[in-house]
Amino acid sequence: MIERTLSIIKPHAVKKNIIGKIFTRIEHIGFKIIGSKMIRLSQTQAIGFYIEHKEKLFFQNIIQSITLGPVMIFVLEKENAIQHFRDLIGATNPEHALPGTIRADYANNMTENAIHGSDSTMSAIREIDYFFQESEIFPHCY
């Protein structure tokens, strides 16, 4: 089934000047980028986005880290996109990320782990809706 997923290149990865490298990898294995924007998240936007983690000890760290600078947010389309994209980015802890994954190559640590990917169908729907109007998404013509 063709699915959509949401991804965010996190501030430290934007600062490393590797947006193009990451996009190339994503396109190379067949994802279509069907929406994209660069913004700096406000505290309120970041808290709303990561609300499921609000009771966690590391919550302040992720809010601080994701609001440090601009992020690149994009919507991807592909067969089985949600799981395929999680496989491409690798484990949350980059020390456990498989070789060749984006986090293995570009993460600094658990907080600065380069990139976000939606973790389920429900998350993908919520997250895409959180950042994009339908008019800002351009489904691929097959």
Residues that bind ligand ATP (CB under 6 A): 53, 58, 61-62, 92, 110-111, 113, 116-117, 119
Least distance (Å) from Mg ion to the CB of residue 67?
17
Given the complex with ligand ATP, which of 58 and 130 has the nearer CB atom? 58
Q: Tell me the C-alpha to C-alpha distance, in Å, between residue 68 and each of 7, 22, 47, 62, 63.
A: 17, 20, 14, 10, 9
Choose from Mg ion, ligand ATP, none: what does 121 bind? Cβ within 5-8 Å by kind: none
Give all strands (DSSP E) within the chain, no chain letters: 2-9, 32-39, 71-79, 115-117
Active site residue 140: no
Choose from Mg ion, ligand ATP, none: what does 117 bind? Cβ within 5-8 Å by kind: ligand ATP
Least distance (Å) from Mg ion to the CB of residue 52?
8
Report how far residue 28's alpha carbon sits from residue 42's, in angstroms, rounded to the nearest whole number. Answer: 32
Greatest Cα-to-Cα distance within the chain, rounded to the nearest angstrom? 45
What letter would DSSP give residue 89? H
Residues at the interface with Mg ion (CB under 5 A): 119
The binding site consists of: 10, 58, 86, 92, 103, 113
What is the set of active-site residues? 116
